[in-house]
Amino acid sequence: MDTSAAGAEAGADAGSDAGSDGGSALVVGAGVGGLATAIGLRRAGWTVTVLERRAAPERYGTAFGIHPTAQSALDRLGLGAALRERAVPYRDARIRRPDGRVLAALPLERIERKAGRPELLVSRPHLIDALPAELDRLGGTDIAYGCPYDPGAPGGADLLVGADGINSAVRAARFGAASAPRELAEAAWIGIAGFETGVYGETWGRGRFFGMTPVEPGRTNWYATVPGATTARELRAAFADWHDPIPRVLADTDPQTWIRYPMRHLHPALPSFTRTAGHGPVALVGDAAHAMTLNLGQGACTALLDAEALARAVAAHGPGGLPAALRAYDGERRRSAQRVALGSRTLHRFMTARRPALRDALVGLLPS
């Protein structure tokens, strides 16, 4: 990997099934959104440079839920097999009360029936490894680690893609500071237990929740929110009298491996994910465009859908048609992604209700 190319145009080796008749793109951020965008553009024949401020790929993280629509996007990016190699289906999950009583089923069966395939869970490190491996296979892309985006550096690429997460420097430089991260009162905690609980879904209490999903054989992915909890001891105490296996999951996993994850979203929603005026065409994807709370588990899915849609629009219009391509991308993705972000925030308020009786009564009306 060439690490000397910050801000420069991409190299030009065409890959085995990537054409070479496209333009050049500078993608900022080597997270899920940036790497998937690079793959899509590369497959469309573009030469791509990815700038990543971290010194190496960041392999930490727990799990991603991959909705059937995002699975289709991965299929179109040529990554379906890599996903299915390690992903597990998510089925039989319930919403429970802290005493263990089942209130309702999560709507996974409905999703599977409608899409003809189940929601999948995949470990974040696996997906993060699969994306650069596919870029290596395609060739023609430099990933420059340890290279933060410098808005003042000379550009040179036909298209700039901001895939640099919730604190996007590209968004600040090219879209202004009107939209910025907004933090919720509660942080989320995420982790992996080294055993399979066999009990999946979410348990909703007063102002807090705990979720468990499968992720890989022999492991369980968990996530939780408690207002004001800042230490592992406080988190364990908050769930000490909740139903089995929640206290066991927290007792039997090493707090050193837990991740405390700020619950943030972008506010206000951007009026456009793209710009063509000023310093040349630019598009935002993933968290840079519409960071959302984790309640719906759609952060990675929406980033993948953005990436695939942007690459498809750019391929359809060619390097000379970037303004039309960016309009098409914005039209396809902005409202949809912003609806998901709003839905996730609304669900967060519902899940963490301080007076849960009415909420539980409403949830109890759903099929279990």
Ligand X SMILES: Cc1cc2nc3c(=O)[nH]c(=O)nc-3n(C[C@H](O)[C@H](O)[C@H](O)COP(=O)(O)OP(=O)(O)OC[C@H]3O[C@@H](n4cnc5c(N)ncnc54)[C@H](O)[C@@H]3O)c2cc1C
Q: What are the start-end ranges of the H helices in the chain? A: 32-43, 68-76, 80-86, 108-115, 124-138, 169-175, 232-238, 246-251, 287-290, 299-317, 322-351, 356-363
Rounded-to-integer distance, Cα 232 and Cα 255, Å: 6
Structure tokens at 124: 């974040």
Q: Which is nearer to ligand X, 205 or 211 (CB)?
A: 211
CB of 60 to ligand X, least distance (A): 5
CB of 285 to ligand X, least distance (A): 6
Question: CB–CB of 187/232 below 8 Å?
Answer: no
Q: Which is nearer to ligand X, 89 or 262 (CB)?
A: 262
197: CB partners within 8 A, 6+ apart: 212, 220, 245, 248, 249
Q: Which is nearer to ligand X, 176 or 320 (CB)?
A: 176
CB of 368 to ligand X, least distance (A): 26
CB of 14 to ligand X, least distance (A): 25
Rounded-to-integer distance, Cα 22 and Cα 320, Å: 9
Q: Which is nearer to ligand X, 52 or 330 (CB)?
A: 52
Closest by Cα among 272, 261, 255 to 330: 272
Question: CB–CB of 30/144 below 8 Å?
Answer: no
Question: CB–CB of 141/41 below 8 Å?
Answer: no
Question: CB–CB of 148/272 below 8 Å?
Answer: no
CB of 99 to ligand X, least distance (A): 28
Instruction: Classify 156 in phi/psi space as left (phi over 0), alpha (psi -120 to 50) or beta.
Output: left
Rounded-to-integer distance, Cα 281 and Cα 148, Å: 20
Q: Which is nearer to ligand X, 302 or 352 (CB)?
A: 302
Q: Which is nearer to ligand X, 298 or 356 (CB)?
A: 298
Q: Which is nearer to ligand X, 9 or 164 (CB)?
A: 164
Applying CB under 6 A, the residues found at the interface with ligand X are 28-34, 51-54, 58, 60-62, 64, 124, 148-149, 163-165, 169, 190, 286-288, 294, 299-300, 303
CB of 71 to ligand X, least distance (A): 15
CB of 165 to ligand X, least distance (A): 3
